[in-house]
Structure 1
Amino acid sequence: MIYLQEHEYDVYDASDPTTYQKAIHCPQFTYWKEATNDEMNSMYMNGVWDLVELPHGCKPVGYKWAFKTKRDSNKRIERYKARLMVKGYSQREGIDFKETFSFVSTKDSFRVIMTIIAHFDLEVHQMDVKTAFLNGDLDEDVYMEQPTSFTEVGKEHLVCKLNKSIYGLKQASRQWYMKFDKIITQNGFKENIVDRCIYLRVNGSSYIFLVLYVDDILLISNDSDLLIETKDMLSTHFDMKDLGEASYVLGIKILRDRANGVLKLSQKTYIEKILKRFSMHNYSSSKVPIVKGDKFSKAQCPQNDDEREEMRTIPYSSLVGSLMYAQVCTCHDIAFVVGMLGRYLSNLGSQHWESILNTCPQKVCWRIY
Protein backbone atom coordinates (compact mmCIF):
# COMPACT_ATOMS: atom_id res chain seq x y z
CA MET A 1 0.00 0.00 0.00
CA ILE A 2 1.18 3.53 -0.76
CA TYR A 3 0.48 6.32 1.71
CA LEU A 4 0.87 9.79 0.26
CA GLN A 5 2.80 12.29 2.32
CA GLU A 6 2.33 16.05 2.31
CA HIS A 7 5.89 16.75 1.22
CA GLU A 8 5.43 14.60 -1.90
CA TYR A 9 2.60 16.83 -3.12
CA ASP A 10 3.64 20.06 -1.46
CA VAL A 11 2.98 22.70 -4.09
CA TYR A 12 6.16 24.64 -4.76
CA ASP A 13 6.52 28.41 -4.59
CA ALA A 14 7.34 29.67 -8.07
CA SER A 15 9.61 32.36 -6.60
CA ASP A 16 11.90 29.85 -4.84
CA PRO A 17 15.32 29.53 -6.52
CA THR A 18 16.19 26.21 -8.10
CA THR A 19 20.00 26.46 -7.84
CA TYR A 20 22.57 27.92 -5.45
CA GLN A 21 23.66 30.48 -8.04
CA LYS A 22 20.10 31.70 -8.51
CA ALA A 23 19.64 31.91 -4.73
CA ILE A 24 22.61 34.22 -4.16
CA HIS A 25 21.66 36.47 -7.08
CA CYS A 26 17.97 36.96 -6.30
CA PRO A 27 16.43 39.84 -4.26
CA GLN A 28 16.18 37.60 -1.15
CA PHE A 29 19.85 36.53 -1.39
CA THR A 30 20.57 37.68 2.20
CA TYR A 31 17.96 35.27 3.58
CA TRP A 32 19.04 32.39 1.34
CA LYS A 33 22.71 32.95 2.22
CA GLU A 34 21.84 32.81 5.91
CA ALA A 35 19.81 29.64 5.31
CA THR A 36 22.68 27.92 3.50
CA ASN A 37 25.11 28.92 6.25
CA ASP A 38 22.75 27.47 8.87
CA GLU A 39 22.53 24.24 6.89
CA MET A 40 26.30 23.94 6.62
CA ASN A 41 26.67 24.65 10.35
CA SER A 42 24.28 21.76 11.01
CA MET A 43 26.49 19.54 8.88
CA TYR A 44 29.59 20.48 10.83
CA MET A 45 27.90 20.25 14.25
CA ASN A 46 26.55 16.77 13.50
CA GLY A 47 29.81 15.48 12.04
CA VAL A 48 28.04 14.50 8.84
CA TRP A 49 31.26 13.93 6.89
CA ASP A 50 35.03 13.73 7.03
CA LEU A 51 37.24 15.08 4.25
CA VAL A 52 39.31 12.25 2.76
CA GLU A 53 41.15 11.25 -0.38
CA LEU A 54 38.84 9.50 -2.82
CA PRO A 55 39.74 5.76 -2.75
CA HIS A 56 40.83 4.24 -6.04
CA GLY A 57 37.91 2.85 -8.03
CA CYS A 58 35.29 4.87 -6.12
CA LYS A 59 33.10 7.55 -7.63
CA PRO A 60 31.63 10.35 -5.49
CA VAL A 61 27.93 11.17 -5.74
CA GLY A 62 26.94 14.71 -6.62
CA TYR A 63 24.96 17.15 -4.51
CA LYS A 64 22.33 19.83 -4.98
CA TRP A 65 20.69 22.58 -2.98
CA ALA A 66 16.93 22.71 -2.39
CA PHE A 67 15.34 26.02 -1.39
CA LYS A 68 11.89 26.52 0.05
CA THR A 69 9.98 29.44 1.51
CA LYS A 70 8.14 28.06 4.54
CA ARG A 71 4.74 29.62 5.18
CA ASP A 72 2.10 29.20 7.89
CA SER A 73 -1.60 28.44 7.39
CA ASN A 74 -2.23 32.14 6.68
CA LYS A 75 0.45 32.20 3.94
CA ARG A 76 2.78 34.38 6.02
CA ILE A 77 6.49 33.66 5.57
CA GLU A 78 7.87 31.79 8.58
CA ARG A 79 11.43 31.26 7.38
CA TYR A 80 13.65 30.59 4.40
CA LYS A 81 14.92 27.03 4.33
CA ALA A 82 17.90 25.62 2.45
CA ARG A 83 18.66 21.92 2.30
CA LEU A 84 21.89 20.31 1.09
CA MET A 85 21.06 17.01 -0.60
CA VAL A 86 22.98 14.32 -2.41
CA LYS A 87 21.90 13.16 -5.85
CA GLY A 88 20.64 9.81 -4.64
CA TYR A 89 19.64 8.69 -8.11
CA SER A 90 23.32 8.04 -8.85
CA GLN A 91 23.66 5.56 -5.97
CA ARG A 92 24.26 1.93 -6.89
CA GLU A 93 22.23 -0.75 -5.14
CA GLY A 94 24.36 -3.24 -3.22
CA ILE A 95 27.30 -0.80 -3.14
CA ASP A 96 26.01 2.56 -1.92
CA PHE A 97 22.86 1.21 -0.27
CA LYS A 98 21.07 -2.02 0.56
CA GLU A 99 17.71 -1.44 2.28
CA THR A 100 15.57 1.65 1.73
CA PHE A 101 12.17 0.73 3.20
CA SER A 102 10.94 2.93 6.03
CA PHE A 103 7.62 2.97 7.90
CA VAL A 104 5.30 5.93 7.42
CA SER A 105 2.22 6.70 9.50
CA THR A 106 -1.05 6.57 7.61
CA LYS A 107 -3.70 9.24 7.25
CA ASP A 108 -6.26 6.78 8.66
CA SER A 109 -4.24 6.73 11.89
CA PHE A 110 -4.08 10.52 11.85
CA ARG A 111 -7.88 10.76 11.75
CA VAL A 112 -8.26 8.15 14.51
CA ILE A 113 -5.87 10.13 16.69
CA MET A 114 -7.78 13.35 15.98
CA THR A 115 -11.02 11.60 17.01
CA ILE A 116 -9.45 10.46 20.29
CA ILE A 117 -8.24 14.00 20.94
CA ALA A 118 -11.71 15.46 20.42
CA HIS A 119 -13.52 12.75 22.40
CA PHE A 120 -11.28 12.85 25.49
CA ASP A 121 -10.33 16.54 25.21
CA LEU A 122 -6.61 15.78 25.20
CA GLU A 123 -3.65 18.12 24.89
CA VAL A 124 -1.99 17.98 21.49
CA HIS A 125 1.42 19.54 20.91
CA GLN A 126 3.82 19.52 18.00
CA MET A 127 7.61 19.27 17.80
CA ASP A 128 9.94 19.43 14.83
CA VAL A 129 13.20 17.50 14.55
CA LYS A 130 15.84 19.78 13.09
CA THR A 131 17.84 18.05 10.34
CA ALA A 132 16.25 14.73 11.27
CA PHE A 133 18.02 12.59 8.68
CA LEU A 134 21.43 13.68 9.96
CA ASN A 135 20.79 11.56 13.06
CA GLY A 136 20.86 8.31 11.11
CA ASP A 137 24.09 6.33 10.99
CA LEU A 138 25.38 4.94 7.69
CA ASP A 139 26.43 1.31 7.27
CA GLU A 140 27.92 1.84 3.79
CA ASP A 141 30.88 3.89 2.57
CA VAL A 142 29.47 6.78 0.54
CA TYR A 143 31.55 9.66 -0.85
CA MET A 144 30.16 13.06 -1.91
CA GLU A 145 31.68 16.01 -3.73
CA GLN A 146 32.46 19.06 -1.60
CA PRO A 147 29.76 21.76 -1.93
CA THR A 148 30.85 24.68 -4.10
CA SER A 149 31.46 27.90 -2.14
CA PHE A 150 31.95 25.86 1.03
CA THR A 151 35.12 23.96 0.14
CA GLU A 152 37.92 24.11 2.71
CA VAL A 153 40.96 26.14 1.64
CA GLY A 154 43.84 23.87 0.72
CA LYS A 155 41.58 20.79 0.70
CA GLU A 156 39.65 21.39 -2.50
CA HIS A 157 40.84 18.06 -3.95
CA LEU A 158 39.31 16.02 -1.11
CA VAL A 159 35.82 14.51 -1.02
CA CYS A 160 33.27 14.11 1.78
CA LYS A 161 33.06 10.63 3.32
CA LEU A 162 29.56 10.56 4.76
CA ASN A 163 29.09 9.44 8.35
CA LYS A 164 25.40 10.34 8.56
CA SER A 165 22.39 9.70 6.34
CA ILE A 166 22.25 13.08 4.63
CA TYR A 167 19.09 14.11 2.79
CA GLY A 168 18.76 12.64 -0.67
CA LEU A 169 20.37 9.29 0.12
CA LYS A 170 18.09 6.41 -0.72
CA GLN A 171 18.56 4.90 2.74
CA ALA A 172 18.31 8.21 4.64
CA SER A 173 14.69 7.85 5.76
CA ARG A 174 15.22 4.26 6.89
CA GLN A 175 18.34 5.08 8.94
CA TRP A 176 16.57 7.99 10.66
CA TYR A 177 13.55 5.85 11.54
CA MET A 178 15.71 3.07 12.96
CA LYS A 179 17.63 5.55 15.13
CA PHE A 180 14.44 7.22 16.39
CA ASP A 181 12.71 3.89 17.07
CA LYS A 182 15.67 2.66 19.12
CA ILE A 183 15.78 5.81 21.28
CA ILE A 184 12.04 6.08 21.85
CA THR A 185 11.51 2.42 22.80
CA GLN A 186 14.43 2.62 25.24
CA ASN A 187 12.54 5.41 27.02
CA GLY A 188 9.37 3.50 27.87
CA PHE A 189 7.35 3.89 24.67
CA LYS A 190 5.73 0.89 22.99
CA GLU A 191 5.31 0.73 19.24
CA ASN A 192 1.86 0.20 17.72
CA ILE A 193 1.79 -3.18 15.95
CA VAL A 194 -0.50 -1.88 13.17
CA ASP A 195 1.06 1.54 12.56
CA ARG A 196 4.76 1.39 13.42
CA CYS A 197 5.07 5.20 13.60
CA ILE A 198 2.67 5.54 16.54
CA TYR A 199 3.99 5.00 20.07
CA LEU A 200 2.28 4.87 23.48
CA ARG A 201 3.60 5.29 26.98
CA VAL A 202 1.44 4.67 30.05
CA ASN A 203 2.37 5.91 33.53
CA GLY A 204 -0.34 5.02 36.03
CA SER A 205 -3.49 6.85 34.95
CA SER A 206 -1.49 9.11 32.66
CA TYR A 207 -0.70 8.28 29.04
CA ILE A 208 0.86 9.89 26.02
CA PHE A 209 0.75 9.10 22.30
CA LEU A 210 3.64 9.98 20.03
CA VAL A 211 2.99 10.15 16.29
CA LEU A 212 5.97 10.42 13.93
CA TYR A 213 5.66 11.90 10.43
CA VAL A 214 9.26 11.78 9.16
CA ASP A 215 10.56 14.83 11.07
CA ASP A 216 7.26 16.12 12.50
CA ILE A 217 6.13 14.78 15.88
CA LEU A 218 2.70 15.02 17.47
CA LEU A 219 2.41 14.51 21.23
CA ILE A 220 -1.06 13.73 22.61
CA SER A 221 -1.58 13.36 26.36
CA ASN A 222 -4.00 13.69 29.27
CA ASP A 223 -1.18 14.83 31.58
CA SER A 224 0.73 18.09 31.04
CA ASP A 225 3.61 16.93 33.27
CA LEU A 226 4.09 13.78 31.19
CA LEU A 227 3.97 15.96 28.08
CA ILE A 228 6.77 18.17 29.40
CA GLU A 229 8.80 15.15 30.48
CA THR A 230 8.56 13.65 26.99
CA LYS A 231 9.60 16.92 25.37
CA ASP A 232 12.65 17.10 27.62
CA MET A 233 13.57 13.51 26.76
CA LEU A 234 13.34 14.15 23.02
CA SER A 235 15.39 17.34 23.32
CA THR A 236 18.08 15.40 25.16
CA HIS A 237 18.59 13.00 22.25
CA PHE A 238 17.76 15.20 19.23
CA ASP A 239 17.93 18.84 18.20
CA MET A 240 14.25 19.73 18.57
CA LYS A 241 12.02 22.74 17.99
CA ASP A 242 9.00 22.99 20.30
CA LEU A 243 6.06 24.37 18.30
CA GLY A 244 3.62 24.33 21.21
CA GLU A 245 -0.03 23.45 20.65
CA ALA A 246 -0.50 21.84 17.24
CA SER A 247 -2.36 24.02 14.77
CA TYR A 248 -0.89 23.21 11.35
CA VAL A 249 0.40 19.71 10.58
CA LEU A 250 1.40 18.34 7.15
CA GLY A 251 -0.46 21.10 5.38
CA ILE A 252 -3.59 20.45 7.47
CA LYS A 253 -4.94 23.13 9.78
CA ILE A 254 -6.35 21.97 13.12
CA LEU A 255 -9.21 24.06 14.49
CA ARG A 256 -10.55 23.25 17.98
CA ASP A 257 -13.63 24.30 19.90
CA ARG A 258 -12.86 22.52 23.16
CA ALA A 259 -15.91 23.90 24.97
CA ASN A 260 -18.19 22.06 22.53
CA GLY A 261 -15.87 19.07 21.92
CA VAL A 262 -15.41 19.91 18.24
CA LEU A 263 -12.26 19.47 16.19
CA LYS A 264 -12.02 20.49 12.54
CA LEU A 265 -9.41 19.74 9.91
CA SER A 266 -8.98 22.06 6.94
CA GLN A 267 -6.74 21.98 3.86
CA LYS A 268 -7.93 25.36 2.62
CA THR A 269 -4.39 26.74 2.21
CA TYR A 270 -3.19 23.63 0.37
CA ILE A 271 -6.20 23.65 -1.96
CA GLU A 272 -5.78 27.35 -2.71
CA LYS A 273 -2.14 26.66 -3.65
CA ILE A 274 -3.33 23.95 -6.06
CA LEU A 275 -5.87 26.32 -7.60
CA LYS A 276 -3.26 29.05 -8.03
CA ARG A 277 -0.71 26.65 -9.51
CA PHE A 278 -3.16 25.50 -12.17
CA SER A 279 -4.61 29.00 -12.77
CA MET A 280 -7.98 28.21 -11.21
CA HIS A 281 -7.96 30.65 -8.29
CA ASN A 282 -10.66 32.80 -9.94
CA TYR A 283 -13.03 29.89 -10.55
CA SER A 284 -16.24 29.57 -8.54
CA SER A 285 -16.69 26.56 -6.26
CA SER A 286 -19.08 23.67 -6.84
CA LYS A 287 -21.14 21.80 -4.23
CA VAL A 288 -20.50 18.40 -5.81
CA PRO A 289 -17.38 17.22 -7.67
CA ILE A 290 -19.33 15.15 -10.20
CA VAL A 291 -22.93 15.25 -11.38
CA LYS A 292 -25.24 12.72 -13.00
CA GLY A 293 -24.45 12.35 -16.68
CA ASP A 294 -20.71 12.97 -16.42
CA LYS A 295 -18.89 10.20 -18.27
CA PHE A 296 -15.25 9.22 -18.61
CA SER A 297 -14.20 6.63 -21.14
CA LYS A 298 -11.48 5.45 -23.51
CA ALA A 299 -13.48 7.02 -26.33
CA GLN A 300 -12.42 10.42 -24.98
CA CYS A 301 -8.71 9.50 -25.23
CA PRO A 302 -6.60 10.88 -28.11
CA GLN A 303 -7.27 9.06 -31.36
CA ASN A 304 -4.24 10.16 -33.39
CA ASP A 305 -0.69 11.51 -33.05
CA ASP A 306 -1.76 15.14 -33.34
CA GLU A 307 -4.20 14.80 -30.43
CA ARG A 308 -1.62 12.95 -28.34
CA GLU A 309 0.97 15.65 -29.01
CA GLU A 310 -1.54 18.33 -28.01
CA MET A 311 -2.08 16.68 -24.60
CA ARG A 312 1.60 15.90 -23.97
CA THR A 313 2.29 19.18 -22.16
CA ILE A 314 -0.90 19.13 -20.07
CA PRO A 315 0.01 18.63 -16.33
CA TYR A 316 -2.81 16.12 -15.88
CA SER A 317 -0.99 13.57 -13.70
CA SER A 318 0.40 16.33 -11.48
CA LEU A 319 -3.09 17.68 -10.79
CA VAL A 320 -4.50 14.18 -10.17
CA GLY A 321 -1.72 13.62 -7.61
CA SER A 322 -2.40 16.95 -5.94
CA LEU A 323 -6.11 16.15 -5.69
CA MET A 324 -5.29 12.67 -4.42
CA TYR A 325 -3.48 14.08 -1.39
CA ALA A 326 -6.46 16.30 -0.55
CA GLN A 327 -8.78 13.33 -1.02
CA VAL A 328 -6.75 11.06 1.28
CA CYS A 329 -6.52 13.67 4.05
CA THR A 330 -9.79 15.59 4.28
CA CYS A 331 -11.73 15.79 0.99
CA HIS A 332 -13.24 12.32 0.90
CA ASP A 333 -16.16 13.52 -1.21
CA ILE A 334 -13.91 13.71 -4.29
CA ALA A 335 -12.62 10.12 -3.93
CA PHE A 336 -14.86 8.67 -6.64
CA VAL A 337 -14.10 11.24 -9.32
CA VAL A 338 -10.34 11.29 -8.55
CA GLY A 339 -10.35 7.50 -8.92
CA MET A 340 -12.15 7.80 -12.24
CA LEU A 341 -9.82 10.49 -13.56
CA GLY A 342 -6.78 8.51 -12.42
CA ARG A 343 -7.62 5.74 -14.88
CA TYR A 344 -6.55 7.90 -17.82
CA LEU A 345 -3.14 9.09 -16.63
CA SER A 346 -1.30 7.36 -19.46
CA ASN A 347 -3.67 8.41 -22.25
CA LEU A 348 -5.66 11.47 -21.33
CA GLY A 349 -7.87 13.45 -23.65
CA SER A 350 -9.04 17.07 -23.65
CA GLN A 351 -12.41 16.06 -22.17
CA HIS A 352 -10.66 14.38 -19.24
CA TRP A 353 -8.65 17.55 -18.63
CA GLU A 354 -11.80 19.69 -18.72
CA SER A 355 -13.46 17.30 -16.27
CA ILE A 356 -10.59 17.45 -13.79
CA LEU A 357 -10.62 21.26 -13.87
CA ASN A 358 -14.23 21.11 -12.76
CA THR A 359 -13.29 18.72 -9.93
CA CYS A 360 -10.99 20.99 -7.91
CA PRO A 361 -12.70 21.95 -4.62
CA GLN A 362 -12.45 25.61 -3.62
CA LYS A 363 -12.68 25.12 0.14
CA VAL A 364 -13.30 21.97 2.14
CA CYS A 365 -13.33 21.31 5.88
CA TRP A 366 -13.78 17.88 7.45
CA ARG A 367 -15.32 17.81 10.91
CA ILE A 368 -14.87 15.40 13.79
CA TYR A 369 -17.39 15.52 16.60
Structure 2
Amino acid sequence: MEEECYTIDSDEPVNYQSAISDPESDKWLEAMNTEMQSMHDNQVWNLVNLPTNCKTVGNKWVFKKKIDVDGNVHTFKARLVAKRYSQTHGIDYDETFSPVAMIKSIRILFAIAAYYDYEIWQMDVKTAFLNGYLLEDVYMDQPEGFVDPKHPNKVCKLKRSIYGLKQASRTWNIRFDEKITSFGFIKNEDDSCVYKKASGSIVIILVLI
Protein backbone atom coordinates (compact mmCIF):
# COMPACT_ATOMS: atom_id res chain seq x y z
CA MET A 1 0.00 0.00 0.00
CA GLU A 2 1.36 3.42 -0.95
CA GLU A 3 2.04 5.81 1.86
CA GLU A 4 0.65 9.30 1.68
CA CYS A 5 0.99 12.51 3.62
CA TYR A 6 -0.08 16.12 3.59
CA THR A 7 2.14 18.82 2.19
CA ILE A 8 2.87 22.02 4.01
CA ASP A 9 3.49 24.03 0.85
CA SER A 10 2.77 27.73 0.86
CA ASP A 11 0.91 27.36 -2.45
CA GLU A 12 -2.12 25.88 -0.70
CA PRO A 13 -5.03 28.36 -0.59
CA VAL A 14 -5.64 29.99 2.78
CA ASN A 15 -9.34 30.72 2.18
CA TYR A 16 -12.17 30.36 -0.33
CA GLN A 17 -11.27 33.48 -2.32
CA SER A 18 -7.68 32.40 -2.82
CA ALA A 19 -8.86 28.92 -3.84
CA ILE A 20 -11.12 30.14 -6.63
CA SER A 21 -8.41 32.49 -7.93
CA ASP A 22 -5.70 29.81 -7.72
CA PRO A 23 -4.21 28.47 -11.00
CA GLU A 24 -5.57 25.08 -9.94
CA SER A 25 -8.98 26.45 -8.99
CA ASP A 26 -10.79 23.72 -10.94
CA LYS A 27 -9.27 21.07 -8.68
CA TRP A 28 -10.08 23.02 -5.52
CA LEU A 29 -13.67 23.57 -6.68
CA GLU A 30 -14.00 19.86 -7.35
CA ALA A 31 -12.71 19.16 -3.84
CA MET A 32 -15.21 21.61 -2.33
CA ASN A 33 -18.06 20.08 -4.32
CA THR A 34 -17.04 16.65 -3.03
CA GLU A 35 -17.11 17.94 0.55
CA MET A 36 -20.53 19.53 0.06
CA GLN A 37 -21.86 16.34 -1.52
CA SER A 38 -20.68 14.46 1.56
CA MET A 39 -22.56 16.96 3.74
CA HIS A 40 -25.67 16.42 1.63
CA ASP A 41 -25.38 12.62 1.60
CA ASN A 42 -25.02 12.55 5.39
CA GLN A 43 -27.87 15.06 5.88
CA VAL A 44 -25.66 17.19 8.10
CA TRP A 45 -27.96 20.22 8.25
CA ASN A 46 -31.28 21.78 7.36
CA LEU A 47 -31.71 25.36 6.21
CA VAL A 48 -33.88 27.30 8.67
CA ASN A 49 -34.59 30.84 9.78
CA LEU A 50 -32.37 31.81 12.68
CA PRO A 51 -34.50 31.83 15.87
CA THR A 52 -34.72 35.02 17.87
CA ASN A 53 -31.89 35.54 20.38
CA CYS A 54 -29.77 32.84 18.75
CA LYS A 55 -26.41 33.32 17.06
CA THR A 56 -24.58 31.37 14.42
CA VAL A 57 -21.26 29.56 14.47
CA GLY A 58 -18.94 30.61 11.68
CA ASN A 59 -17.05 28.27 9.37
CA LYS A 60 -14.13 28.29 6.98
CA TRP A 61 -12.65 26.23 4.19
CA VAL A 62 -9.35 24.43 4.82
CA PHE A 63 -7.36 23.28 1.80
CA LYS A 64 -4.62 20.63 1.69
CA LYS A 65 -2.71 18.71 -0.94
CA LYS A 66 -1.90 15.05 -0.35
CA ILE A 67 1.27 13.64 -1.88
CA ASP A 68 2.59 10.15 -2.47
CA VAL A 69 6.03 8.82 -1.46
CA ASP A 70 7.55 10.30 -4.61
CA GLY A 71 6.35 13.79 -3.77
CA ASN A 72 3.65 13.89 -6.42
CA VAL A 73 0.32 15.52 -5.59
CA HIS A 74 -2.47 12.98 -6.01
CA THR A 75 -5.36 14.48 -4.05
CA PHE A 76 -6.73 17.97 -3.51
CA LYS A 77 -8.63 18.08 -0.23
CA ALA A 78 -11.12 20.72 0.90
CA ARG A 79 -12.72 20.50 4.34
CA LEU A 80 -15.45 22.65 5.81
CA VAL A 81 -14.51 23.43 9.41
CA ALA A 82 -16.56 25.16 12.09
CA LYS A 83 -15.00 28.10 13.93
CA ARG A 84 -15.12 26.68 17.42
CA TYR A 85 -14.12 29.94 19.08
CA SER A 86 -17.56 31.33 18.25
CA GLN A 87 -19.30 28.63 20.31
CA THR A 88 -20.66 29.38 23.79
CA HIS A 89 -20.47 26.81 26.57
CA GLY A 90 -23.87 25.81 27.90
CA ILE A 91 -25.63 27.07 24.79
CA ASP A 92 -24.33 25.30 21.70
CA TYR A 93 -22.05 22.81 23.42
CA ASP A 94 -21.66 21.13 26.80
CA GLU A 95 -19.43 18.06 27.21
CA THR A 96 -16.37 17.84 24.99
CA PHE A 97 -14.37 14.98 26.53
CA SER A 98 -13.71 12.01 24.27
CA PRO A 99 -11.55 9.05 25.33
CA VAL A 100 -8.66 7.66 23.31
CA ALA A 101 -6.87 4.35 23.69
CA MET A 102 -4.03 4.27 26.20
CA ILE A 103 -0.51 3.79 24.83
CA LYS A 104 0.01 0.78 27.07
CA SER A 105 -3.11 -0.86 25.60
CA ILE A 106 -1.75 -0.47 22.09
CA ARG A 107 1.63 -1.89 23.11
CA ILE A 108 0.05 -4.87 24.85
CA LEU A 109 -2.15 -5.65 21.84
CA PHE A 110 0.80 -5.39 19.45
CA ALA A 111 2.67 -7.86 21.66
CA ILE A 112 -0.29 -10.25 21.68
CA ALA A 113 -0.64 -9.97 17.91
CA ALA A 114 3.06 -10.68 17.40
CA TYR A 115 3.03 -13.66 19.77
CA TYR A 116 -0.03 -15.32 18.21
CA ASP A 117 0.74 -14.14 14.67
CA TYR A 118 -2.55 -12.23 14.42
CA GLU A 119 -3.27 -10.03 11.44
CA ILE A 120 -3.26 -6.28 12.09
CA TRP A 121 -5.39 -3.92 10.05
CA GLN A 122 -5.42 -0.13 10.24
CA MET A 123 -8.51 1.64 8.97
CA ASP A 124 -9.51 5.27 8.59
CA VAL A 125 -13.15 6.34 8.76
CA LYS A 126 -13.91 8.86 6.03
CA THR A 127 -15.65 11.98 7.33
CA ALA A 128 -15.83 10.31 10.74
CA PHE A 129 -17.24 13.28 12.64
CA LEU A 130 -20.23 13.55 10.30
CA ASN A 131 -21.55 10.37 11.91
CA GLY A 132 -22.05 11.98 15.31
CA TYR A 133 -25.50 13.32 16.21
CA LEU A 134 -25.70 16.70 17.95
CA LEU A 135 -27.71 17.00 21.14
CA GLU A 136 -27.56 20.80 21.22
CA ASP A 137 -29.18 23.29 18.86
CA VAL A 138 -26.30 24.61 16.78
CA TYR A 139 -26.83 27.11 13.97
CA MET A 140 -24.10 27.75 11.42
CA ASP A 141 -23.62 30.25 8.60
CA GLN A 142 -23.99 28.84 5.11
CA PRO A 143 -20.57 27.94 3.64
CA GLU A 144 -18.87 30.59 1.56
CA GLY A 145 -19.36 29.89 -2.13
CA PHE A 146 -22.29 27.58 -1.46
CA VAL A 147 -25.02 29.89 -0.21
CA ASP A 148 -28.42 28.70 -1.42
CA PRO A 149 -29.59 31.39 -3.89
CA LYS A 150 -33.23 30.62 -3.04
CA HIS A 151 -32.65 31.03 0.71
CA PRO A 152 -29.64 33.34 1.13
CA ASN A 153 -30.76 34.60 4.54
CA LYS A 154 -31.32 31.20 6.10
CA VAL A 155 -28.79 29.40 8.29
CA CYS A 156 -27.73 25.79 8.70
CA LYS A 157 -29.23 24.01 11.68
CA LEU A 158 -26.74 21.22 12.29
CA LYS A 159 -28.10 17.74 12.88
CA ARG A 160 -24.68 16.13 12.87
CA SER A 161 -21.30 17.31 14.01
CA ILE A 162 -18.72 18.68 11.62
CA TYR A 163 -15.00 19.14 12.03
CA GLY A 164 -14.08 22.04 14.26
CA LEU A 165 -17.05 21.88 16.65
CA LYS A 166 -15.97 21.59 20.27
CA GLN A 167 -18.16 18.53 20.83
CA ALA A 168 -17.35 16.83 17.49
CA SER A 169 -15.03 14.14 18.83
CA ARG A 170 -17.39 13.35 21.72
CA THR A 171 -20.45 12.89 19.51
CA TRP A 172 -18.40 10.69 17.16
CA ASN A 173 -17.24 8.54 20.07
CA ILE A 174 -20.78 8.13 21.42
CA ARG A 175 -22.10 7.09 17.99
CA PHE A 176 -19.20 4.72 17.41
CA ASP A 177 -19.71 3.06 20.81
CA GLU A 178 -23.43 2.60 20.17
CA LYS A 179 -22.86 1.02 16.77
CA ILE A 180 -19.92 -1.23 17.58
CA THR A 181 -21.57 -2.67 20.70
CA SER A 182 -24.73 -3.35 18.68
CA PHE A 183 -22.58 -5.68 16.54
CA GLY A 184 -21.69 -7.74 19.60
CA PHE A 185 -18.37 -6.14 20.53
CA ILE A 186 -17.67 -5.91 24.28
CA LYS A 187 -15.94 -2.85 25.72
CA ASN A 188 -12.87 -3.46 27.84
CA GLU A 189 -13.37 -2.50 31.49
CA ASP A 190 -9.90 -0.96 31.83
CA ASP A 191 -9.78 0.89 28.50
CA SER A 192 -13.04 2.14 27.02
CA CYS A 193 -11.46 2.41 23.56
CA VAL A 194 -10.67 -1.30 23.29
CA TYR A 195 -13.40 -3.69 22.13
CA LYS A 196 -13.41 -7.47 21.68
CA LYS A 197 -15.64 -9.93 19.87
CA ALA A 198 -15.14 -13.70 19.83
CA SER A 199 -16.86 -16.27 17.65
CA GLY A 200 -15.51 -19.79 18.04
CA SER A 201 -11.79 -19.66 17.32
CA ILE A 202 -12.04 -16.22 15.69
CA VAL A 203 -11.19 -13.26 17.91
CA ILE A 204 -11.39 -9.63 16.84
CA ILE A 205 -9.88 -6.87 18.96
CA LEU A 206 -10.66 -3.33 17.93
CA VAL A 207 -8.77 -0.27 19.19
CA LEU A 208 -10.11 3.24 18.68
CA ILE A 209 -7.35 5.82 18.42
**Corresponding residue number in structure 1 for 2:13:** 17
Instruction: Map 1:49-60 onto structure 2 (within 5 A).
Output: 49-60=45-56
Shift of 1:127: 2.4
Q: 1:68 to 1:90 in 2, by over 3 A?
A: same
**Corresponding residue number in structure 2 for 1:128:** 124
Counterpart of 1:202 in 2: which secondary structure? strand
Greater helix fraction, Structure 1 or Structure 2:
1
When normalised by structure 1's length, the TM-score is 0.52
Structure 2: any 5+ residue segments left out of the alignment? 1-5
**Corresponding residue number in structure 2 for 1:61:** 57
Could you say which structure has the greater relative contact order, defined with CA pairs below 8 angstroms and 6 or more residues apart? 2
When normalised by structure 2's length, the TM-score is 0.90
**Corresponding residue number in structure 2 for 1:110:** 106
Shift of 1:72: 4.4
Shift of 1:157: 0.7
Q: Does 1:96 align with 2:92?
A: yes
Q: Does 1:27 align with 2:5?
A: no
Shift of 1:98: 0.8
User: Which amino acid is the alignment partner of residue 209 of structure 1?
Assistant: I
**Corresponding residue number in structure 1 for 2:206:** 210
**Corresponding residue number in structure 1 for 2:175:** 179
User: Which amino acid is the alignment partner of residue 95 of structure 1?
Assistant: I
Over the matched positions of the two proteins, sequence identity in percent amounts to 51
Shift of 1:200: 1.0
Instruction: Map 1:1-369 onto structure 2 (within 5 A).
Output: 12-72=8-68, 75-213=71-209
Structure 1: any 5+ residue segments left out of the alignment? 1-9, 214-369
**Corresponding residue number in structure 2 for 1:287:** none
Shift of 1:201: 0.8
| Contact 2:131–2:160, Cα closer than 8 Å, also in 1 | yes
User: Which amino acid is the alignment partner of residue 28 of structure 2?
Assistant: W
CA distance in 1 between partners of 2:77 and 2:109 (Å): 30
Shift of 1:119: 2.2
CA distance in 2 between partners of 1:61 and 1:17 (Å): 22
User: Which amino acid is the alignment partner of residue 68 of structure 1?
Assistant: K
Counterpart of 2:123 in 1: which secondary structure? strand
Shift of 1:110: 2.8
Shift of 1:123: 1.5
CA distance in 2 between partners of 1:29 and 1:43 (Å): 21
| Contact 2:49–2:154, Cα closer than 8 Å, also in 1 | yes
| Contact 2:99–2:192, Cα closer than 8 Å, also in 1 | yes
Q: Which runs of 4+ in 1 moved over 6 A?
A: none
| Contact 2:16–2:144, Cα closer than 8 Å, also in 1 | no
